[in-house]
Structure 1
Amino acid sequence: MTPSLLRNQPQPNPGNAWQTPSVSGVDRAHAAKLGLRLFLAVVSSLFLLFLVAFILRSQIPDWQPLTEPMAPLAQTGSLWLNSLFLIAASIGLQWARVAARRGHGKTTAVAFILGGALAIAFLAGQFWVWQQFAAQGYLLASNPANSFFYLLTGLHALHLLGGLIAWARTLSKLLLREPVQSLSTSVELCAIYWHYLLALWLLLFALLTSTPQTYEAIAAFCGLR
């Protein structure tokens, strides 16, 4: 075959050997992010229904506010501390997310561990708050406001606990020194989930510590009265 004919033949591209796995990896990452968005939409709908029920129930006369001077939520220092734990956890996961994108394995692992540890501290703080409620006689069934406090904070903690399971699986792979590039999507999904739970918690915190007058205003604004 002449040299001119050889030049006209299609030349092999060494990059083609990696093209299919790369596309497959992108597809998996896209599917995982889409799945997380759908899950968060379902969770948001669930909490929205509970919040509407909360506002409706607060308008019935037997509702005993937890923010009265002698009630547990008259002092919110413990909840503020827990909120700081969750804010710091979200910052830690975001730090890990950025480090994973840049391929910094050690920084990713340190930030990822820090974020999870602070989330565990938040859960421990919430458990302590529940114990304080019980010690003061504010049990689950003794008042509708109590029931909603345990329900909303418990559901939030349950979703965070589920996130910690995914966090632990990703952490085990990081500690086994798997390439950080292959775990970048998992780290990013954990960070997104933590940011969502932080925003949800701040909403719950603001609502649970509000006054009956605020509930009345919300009910009137939403046409629930």
Structure 2
Amino acid sequence: MSAIVLFMAVIAIIAGWWLSQQRLMSKPWLEEGPIGNYPGTGAATWPAAKIGLGVFLAVAGSLFALFISAYSMRMVMVDWRTMPVPGLLWFNTGVLVVSSVALQWAYVAARRDDMGNVIIGLCAGGASAITFLIGQLLAWQQLRAAGYFVASNPANSFFYMITAAHGLHLMGGLVALGRTTARVWRGAEMAQVRLSVELCAIYWHFLLLVWLVLLGLLTGWTDEFVDICRRLLT
């Protein structure tokens, strides 16, 4: 349960920060002066696409939280046999970090109207994400070759299900990233693609965060980290 508490705490902090930007406690009917003088009283402070992405990330985060909760409760039963974590997952994690950094690079370049670095960042991010997916498939192959099949053990089933769910979300992000890259490559105006680049970067950061939590859960260091924090607080 400590893993899901940690994950939900991070989601709650992000959601709280987002809500704090929306002026939910404001009373625009009591404010005087031009409407433009009061942020948030005119048009939406965030584009609809960004709000839609936020809602989707909240739903996806809840889905992974349920996975984490089910994993934590199932692993205490007597038929649970912990499976080894392939060392390739650490390489894959590094690749996903590179992908997230590359998309952040593209976003910063987009804010500076630097089309060349935007293309480099998008291509590097996409290539790293594809490498991550290939690495995940190779990790699956290594486990199957060692006799760790899906139906052999509940731990095996959870491993394949969790990594597959994360991979499917990444594949969906690659579709959006491919469309954005194609628009930039065709010479679209930077103002028309800046938001798309930003949304891709946000989505990749979310997937990286989710993967780090999942990796910690699969390797067991998430509970150790929570225990250390608990000792420090007490």
Relative distance call for 1:168 and 1:27 in structure 2 (3 A) is farther
The reply to whether residue 181 of structure 1 matches residue 191 of structure 2 is: yes
State the alpha-carbon separation in 1 of the partners of residues 126 and 198 from structure 2: 14
What is the identity, as a one-letter code, of the residue corresponding to 2:200?
C
The reply to whether residue 206 of structure 1 matches residue 223 of structure 2 is: no
Name the Cα RMSD after superposition: 2.1
Point out the structure with max Rg over C-alpha.
Answer: 1
Q: Which residue of 1 aligns with 2:59?
A: 42
The reply to whether residue 59 of structure 1 matches residue 69 of structure 2 is: no
Aligned length: 185
The reply to whether residue 97 of structure 1 matches residue 142 of structure 2 is: no
Deviations 1:2-25 (A, max 9, x none): xxxxxxxxxxxxxxxxxxxxxxxx
Deviations 1:86-144 (A, max 9, x none): 00000000000000111111110111100110011000100000011111111111100
Q: Which residue of 1 aligns with 2:5?
A: none
State the alpha-carbon separation in 1 of the partners of residues 116 and 137 from structure 2: 32
The reply to whether residue 116 of structure 1 matches residue 133 of structure 2 is: no
5+ residue gaps, structure 1:
1-25, 67-71
Please show how residues 1-225 of structure 1 align to structure 2 within 5 Å: 30-66=47-83, 72-73=84-85, 76-210=86-220, 214=223
TM-fit CA distance, 1:27:
6.0
Name the % identity.
Answer: 48
State the alpha-carbon separation in 2 of the partners of residues 51 and 159 from structure 1: 16
TM-score (norm 2): 0.75
Secondary structure, in 3 states, of the residue corresponding to 1:141? Answer: helix
Secondary structure, in 3 states, of the residue corresponding to 2:91? Answer: helix
My pick for the range that moved more, 177-186 or 26-35, is: 26-35
What is the identity, as a one-letter code, of the residue corresponding to 1:126?
Q
State the alpha-carbon separation in 2 of the partners of residues 202 and 83 from structure 1: 8
State the alpha-carbon separation in 2 of the partners of residues 27 and 180 from structure 1: 22
5+ residue gaps, structure 2:
1-42
What is the identity, as a one-letter code, of the residue corresponding to 1:55?
S
What is the identity, as a one-letter code, of the residue corresponding to 2:66?
L
Relative distance call for 1:28 and 1:157 in structure 2 (3 A) is farther
TM-fit CA distance, 1:179:
1.1
TM-score (norm 1): 0.78
Q: Which residue of 2 aligns with 1:6?
A: none
Relative distance call for 1:90 and 1:205 in structure 2 (3 A) is same
